[in-house]
Amino acid sequence: MVKPLHIGNRQFASNLIQGPLAGVSSAPFRRLVWRYSQPAFTYTEMISCKTLLNMSIKSRQRFITRAPDEGTLCFQLSANDANELAEATKLVTDLGADLVDLNCGCPKKKIRTKHAGSKHLSDPSRLAQFIKAMKDNTTIPVSVKIRVDGDSDDNFNRDIGMVIQDAGADVLVVHGRNWRDDYDKPVFYDQIRYFTETLSIPVIGNGDVACHDSLQAMLATGCAGAMICRAGVGQPWLIGALSAHLTDVPFTKPVPSAIGALFVEHVAGLADLLASEKFALIQARKFAKYYGREIPERRNFCEAVNNCETLSDLAYQCRRFFV
C-alpha cells in the first residue's frame, strides 16, 4: 500500500518523493513527473543561498520557476551562513515553497570547502543553529537531507539525528551512503534503520530505489517514506508505476515513441526556461543515457544526441531510435 505521510503541519497522500538532482530537477523535469505520478512532493535542484539572494531576477528563473501543472514542491537550499539561510528561507517561503530543505549531504569538494553540504555533519552545534534559523523564518515544514556516516559506529548517526530533531527539523531525509562514497557502493540500509528506530520525526530513506524490490528493501528499514532520484530521470512515470504496484492496480508505461517525445518535451522546456536552445541541448547530453536506458542502440543514441545542434535534430534522432 502507498501510505500517507505526515510532515510538520502537512499531510500527503503518498510517501514516495522525487528527490533533488542538480542539473535535472527544474520545472520541465518536475512537470513530467507530475503528469504520470502523484508523489508526496518533488524537490528543486540545490540552490545556493548566496546565489539566490544576489542573482538577478532573470537568472533566478531556472531555480524558482514552477510550472502551473506541477504539485507540491520542496526548495532545497545550500548554505554556509545562518543569516543568509534565514533570508533565503523567507524568500522561498514568499515564493510559495511548500517545504524547505537544507542540503547536508553534498559530497562535492567545492561545496565542502565552503563549509556547506555534507560538511555540516561535522559541526552539529553549528548545524543546529542553521536549522533554527530556518524554523524561525518560516511556517512551512523544514527538511534536512543528509548522508550516513558509513565508517563510524552508531554514535555519529545517533548524535547527528538527535541534533537535527532537537533543532526542530520536521523531516529527515537519509541517503544511505557516506559522503566519501560515490554511487557504486551499496546503500547502508542498517544505518537508515538506525535513524528510523531512534527518531520521532519522519525519516525518508534514499538510495538506489529503482523498482518494486528496491522500494520494498528501503521501506523495510521502517522509513516513513522513500525518495527516488536518478531512477526517475527519463522515466517520469516511475513513481506512478511503483504506486500502482503497491496498490495492485494496472499501470501502462509509455510506448517507446512516447518516451522519445517526452525527452524532446523536457529539453524544449529547458530551452524556454534557460532562454537558450544551445544550453538546453548541452544539458540533453546528460539525460540521453537515462531516457535511452531501454533502447538497444543506447550508445549510438547518446552519440547522436551529442551531435544535435537544434531541437529539430533532437526530435529527428528520437524518432529514429525510439521505435
Ligand X SMILES: Cc1cc2nc3c(=O)[nH]c(=O)nc-3n(C[C@H](O)[C@H](O)[C@H](O)COP(=O)(O)O)c2cc1C
Give the separation between CA 16 and CA 236, rounded to whole angstroms.
13
323 CB-near residues (< 8 Å, 6+ apart): 256, 257
Give the separation between CA 243 and CA 247, rounded to whole angstroms.
6
Long-range contacts of 268-277 (CB under 8 A, 24+ apart): 268/28, 268/311, 269/27, 269/28, 269/31, 269/67, 270/26, 270/28, 271/311, 272/28, 273/26, 273/27, 273/28, 273/61, 273/62, 273/65, 274/62, 277/310, 277/311
In one-letter notation, the amino acid at residue 238 is L
Interacting residues toward ligand X by CB under 6 A:
19-23, 45-46, 76, 103, 105, 145, 175, 206-209, 228-231
Which lies closer to ligand X via its Cβ, residue 25 or residue 165? 25
Q: How far is residue 187 from each of residues 201, 223, 277, measured CA to CA in Å?
A: 22, 14, 37
Residue 1: how many other CB atoms lie within 10 Å:
8
Which lies closer to ligand X via its Cβ, residue 167 or residue 228? 228
Which lies closer to ligand X via its Cβ, residue 21 or residue 53? 21
Which lies closer to ligand X via its Cβ, residue 4 or residue 23? 23
- Output the smallest distance, CB 147 to ligand X, in A: 8
- Output the smallest distance, CB 65 to ligand X, in A: 16
The half-sphere exposure of 209 on its side-chain side, counting CA atoms within 13 A, is: 32
- Output the smallest distance, CB 190 to ligand X, in A: 17
Which lies closer to ligand X via its Cβ, residue 187 or residue 304? 187
The half-sphere exposure of 78 on its side-chain side, counting CA atoms within 13 A, is: 24
Helix, strand counts (H, E) of the chain: 14, 10
- Output the smallest distance, CB 285 to ligand X, in A: 13
Which lies closer to ligand X via its Cβ, residue 39 or residue 322? 39
- The secondary element (H helix, E strand) that includes residue 306 is helix 298-306
- Output the smallest distance, CB 323 to ligand X, in A: 28
Q: What are phi and psi of 208, to 5 degrees?
A: 65, 25
Which lies closer to ligand X via its Cβ, residue 22 or residue 95? 22
Which lies closer to ligand X via its Cβ, residue 207 or residue 260? 207
Which lies closer to ligand X via its Cβ, residue 286 or residue 319? 286
- Output the smallest distance, CB 83 to ligand X, in A: 22
Query: Which is it for strands 171-175 and 203-206: parallel, antiparallel or unpaired?
Result: parallel
Give the separation between CA 230 and CA 20, rounded to whole angstroms.
9
Task: For residue 323, give the C-alpha cell.
Answer: 521505435
Give the separation between CA 285 and CA 81, rounded to whole angstroms.
34
